[in-house]
Amino acid sequence: MNLEAAVYMIPVGISDAGPEAVVPADTLEAMRGIRHFIVENVRTARRWLRRCTPGCDIDSMTFSELSRHTRPEEIPAMLEPLRRGEPVGVMSEAGCPGVADPGAQVVAIAQREGFRVVPLVGPSSLLLALMASGFNGQGFTFNGYLPIADSERTAAIRRLEKTARNHGVTQIFIETPYRNRKMLDTLVATLRPDTLLCVAVAITDPEHQQIVTLPAAKWKNRRIELEKQPAVFLIG
């Protein structure tokens, strides 16, 4: 396949679910036409490519790692293949690249140099969680990770709750798996009892998927499998 020279933003699975669950045929087709990749994690990227394009010659491909440890001055060189006229793919560790990962930095350079950027359809845990939360989708904010220190974290939760309640703007944030349980406890202890809280885990995994919206007070007695998996939290 002859793909136009452009930056292709390639979504990666967010659970063990295979490509058929999370990416359209055209996304798979585009992946087959790309040999140069800029990725958050090389191992994850190779594994996803093998699942999406079985039989692809992975050894003929190049991978540049763009993680939060990458120095900014290293990034422009990653687009060399594009400047030679070859398509380049960008993949994050999971989900849609350019959202909640460092991928946007390379896109900013491509845009500045006038290259085309093509976003391909795939799973976004944030958006899927929002769709299933029942919360306002006409105004929402993604806040990334909240501060870790207790007092700052509590203050952040109170601020988000205020914005959600007073302005109806849904507040979304994420947490790393091993801190999920503590985050939920802090939320239950901090939010007003009738503030609606949605917790979403295993979003694209039909067997373990849980996306549950309840008033904060009711979360006290609700059991949910939170360990070992990324979670999205939403305040409505």
List contacts with a copy of itself (CB under 8 A). 9, 17, 19-26, 96-101, 103-105, 107-112, 116-119, 121-124, 126-144, 169, 198, 203-204, 206, 209, 211-214
Phi, psi of 91 (to 5 degrees): -130, 135
Q: Kindly state the smallest distance separating residue 60's Cβ from a copy of itself, in Å.
A: 25
Nearer to a copy of itself by Cβ, of 54 and 144: the residue is: 144
Nearer to a copy of itself by Cβ, of 59 and 144: the residue is: 144
Nearer to a copy of itself by Cβ, of 57 and 170: the residue is: 170
Is residue 224 within 8 Å of 199, Cβ to Cβ?
A: yes
The partner residues of 199 in beta bridges, in order of sequence, read 212, 233
| Joined tokens for residue 83 | 């400047």
Nearer to a copy of itself by Cβ, of 60 and 223: the residue is: 223
Assign residue 115 a region: left if phi > 0, alpha if psi is -120 to 50, beta otherwise? beta
Nearer to a copy of itself by Cβ, of 196 and 226: the residue is: 196
Is residue 180 within 8 Å of 231, Cβ to Cβ?
A: yes
Q: Kindly state the smallest distance separating residue 175's Cβ from a copy of itself, in Å.
A: 14
Q: Kindly state the smallest distance separating residue 59's Cβ from a copy of itself, in Å.
A: 28
Is residue 103 within 8 Å of 90, Cβ to Cβ?
A: yes
Nearer to a copy of itself by Cβ, of 19 and 81: the residue is: 19
Which one, of 150, 224, 227, lies nearest residue 189 by Cα? 150
Angle between helix 150-167 and helix 180-190 axes, rounded to 10 deg: 60
What is the C-alpha separation between 228 and 51, in angstroms, rounded?
A: 23
Is residue 4 within 8 Å of 116, Cβ to Cβ?
A: yes
| Joined tokens for residue 17 | 């679910």
Q: Kindly state the smallest distance separating residue 144's Cβ from a copy of itself, in Å.
A: 4
Nearer to a copy of itself by Cβ, of 31 and 126: the residue is: 126
| Joined tokens for residue 175 | 């947490």
